[in-house]
A and B are shown apart, each in its own frame.
Chain A
Amino acid sequence: MSSAALEAQLRAPRRSNKATFFWRFRQNKLAVMGLGIVVVLIFVAVFANFIAPTGYTEAVLSESRQFPSWSHWFGTDQIGRDYLSRSLFGIRTSIMVGFGVQLITLSIGFTLGALGGYLGGWVDMIVVRIIEVATGIPSLLVAMFLMAFLGHSTWSVIFALGITGWVVETRLTRGQFIAFRDREFVVAARAIGASELRIAIMHIFPNVIPVIAVLVAFQIPAAIFNEAGLSFLGLGIDEPTPSLGKMVSTSLAYVRTYWHMGLFPSVLIAFITLGFTFMGDGLRDALDPTMNR
């Protein structure tokens, strides 16, 4: 630890765990910025239909491929749809996918990992085998493969990425449950006759939440990245639903002249993924400053 960081920590008044966590998080400017970006993005995603100047399907052919102007801040696309509106609704798609995929991967990964890590024995054997096999399968490729059958709606992308992306969640949850399984407070709870289910839910689960939360903060941008990637390849979300990845790939055909079509969605994707990652970095460091650097 550097002297500056050490000093900062020494000067910090004694606080409860929670207060220390928030204090540490606030100290990290990048993390606060990330949180700010995430809050704005979620706001945009929820209220896109109120913020956006037009709907995402409204096309005015006579105004196609316009450069950014006061009437169209981001310009228009190849069939004259307002690019700002498309981008805002694209953010909604990204956020939906980011959170939706996490819902699925956590349900699968947490259940599997908790079962294996807590019960041990043959159950764990099976879980470990599942993890081993699943690690060998490149999940994004399987998701691409699945998309060929699922159709190209937002929901099918969420399903395809969710059903293939739970390995990290499983491994982490399993590790956490193993780490807590034999701790004193668990043994104590068992000694006074708490049922196994009660121990798992009431005693271990709360301790696992922080680590899972950090993972989620990193997995959400990963899912958004993957959705943008799938749509970029034409294997993701189809028109007219806006997807930032799809907008980038469409722009490639016009890249020589209409720079705005590629620039805005790609910058937005970068913003989204960076915002979540900075927030995740901050969460992780605030939870356990010794974990990194």
Chain B
Amino acid sequence: MTGYILGRLLGLFFSVLAISLILFLAVRWLPGTPWIEGEIPLTGSARDNMIRKYGLDEPVWKQYAKYLWNLAHLDLGNSYIYKTDSVWKTIARGWPATAKIGTITLLVSIPLGIIIGVAASLKQNSIFDYAMTLTATAGITVPNFAVAVWLVLFVAIYLDLTPTQGWGTWQHMILPVIAYSLAPLGLVARFTRVSMLEAMRSDYVRTARAKGLNEPTIVVRHIFKNALIPIITLFGPLLPNLMTGSIFIEQTFAIPGLGRHFVTSIFDRDYPVILGMFMLVAVLFGLTYVISDILYTWADPRVRLTRGP
């Protein structure tokens, strides 16, 4: 087990290294820096000074080595735009709002999704089942910013129940959380339903029925327990996605979160911030995948730990 975890972490390490190299080279070789095309373009010696200050005149391999060295010390460098801010500080500024929305969305969508999925599976092929499958598909497919606009038009403006956008009070969080929850909610519900149906058809459930157990015991102890195990695999992609924030939701509701910082840093060509956020997301994605795989084997001992996709 320890060997497996170490192996996975090593794999993750090399993945992150490869990602950092690709993105670093992309940033360095693609044209444009904030001082050439910014709002106030710098020219001549002023520009040269800036380039020298940030070490951009050195050979690329040297810059990359330096970046890695700093990365190893958890130093992501300084923002080009907000010169007194480290990248960490920029990230820290957007993190609370994103994490808040993400956590609430998670707390709403996963339990609710499981409940709906279980209910639909227990009444398979009923009207409720079809309606749920349809709604779940719609929730996954329709872009969340489209749903967000409908919510703003109907709830915030027509019914005048919530603010249209902004950040601060709990009322501000209602619409973003609804718009944001639909996709994971649909995903969890559909996944739970299929997983439940599979468990219902299994031999051990037939055995349980044959030996005369009562229905609630079968549903809870035999079906439910086994059906929920695969849901752990959903956390892998779901968790980092939610925690890094839906850029669209933050844009629609003017929430000062990570996603908006990412977009502004792209507009500003603020490379250290862009790179730093990418690294953060890559590590977060990788870690949750490893953790969800380990959790899965812990929950379902039949699954063996092997490497490779």
Contact = CB atoms under 8 A, between A and B. Distances in A.
A138 B244 CA distance: 11
A267 B149 CA distance: 10
Of the four ranges (under 10, 10 to 19, 20 to 34, 35 or more), the interface on chain B belongs to: 35 or more
B142 A269 contact: yes
B308 interface: yes
B282 A137 contact: yes
A245 B142 CA distance: 12
A171 B309 CA distance: 9
Nearest to B121: A293
Given A133-B15, A145-B266, A249-B251, A277 B141 contact: yes
A129 B248 CA distance: 31
Contacts of B164: 255-256
Interface stretch (B51-59, B150-158, B225-233): B150-158
Interface string A227-249: 01100111100000000010011
Interface size class of A (residues with CB under 8 A): 35 or more
Interface string B130-165: 000010011001110110011011000100000010
Contact of A138 (B22, B267, B281, B309): B281
Contact of A128 (B26, B157, B263, B309): B309
Nearest to B140: A277
B19 A133 contact: yes
Interface in B239-289: 244, 247-248, 251-252, 262-263, 266-267, 269, 274, 277-278, 281-282, 285-286
A133 B20 CA distance: 10
Given A131-B309, A232-B251, A148 B266 contact: yes
Contacts of A147: 266
A229 B147 CA distance: 13
A138 B23 CA distance: 12
Contacts of A273: 141-143
- The interface residues of chain B, by DSSP majority, are classed as helix
A2 B252 contact: no
A247 to B, nearest CB: 10
A109 interface: no
Contacts, number: 129
A291 B176 CA distance: 34
Contact of A144 (B31, B157, B263): B263
Interface in A235-293: 235, 245, 248-249, 251-252, 255-256, 259, 262-263, 266-267, 269-270, 273-274, 277-278, 281, 292-293
B266 A144 contact: yes
**Of residues A2, A4, A149, A221, which shows the largest number of chain B Cβ atoms within 10 Å of its Cβ?**
A149
A96 B26 CA distance: 27
Given A138-B281, A269-B142, A255 B263 contact: no
Contact of B308 (A128, A225, A255, A266): A128
Interface in A102-135: 128, 131-133, 135
B16 interface: yes
B169 interface: no
B227 to A, nearest CB: 14
A137 to B, nearest CB: 5
A131 B248 CA distance: 27
Contacts of A138: 244, 278, 281-282, 285
A76 B12 CA distance: 52
Contact of A255 (B19, B31, B157, B269): B157
B282 A255 contact: no
A293 B153 CA distance: 36
Nearest to A150: B30
B122 interface: no
- Ordered nearest first, which 10 A-B pairs have the shortest CB separation? A266-B146, A270-B142, A277-B141, A262-B149, A133-B18, A266-B149, A136-B15, A149-B30, A273-B141, A136-B282
Given A229-B248, A292-B194, A293-B197, 14 more contacts: A133-B15, A141-B262, A145-B23, A145-B274, A229-B145, A233-B247, A248-B146, A252-B152, A255-B149, A262-B149, A269-B142, A270-B143, A274-B142, A277-B137
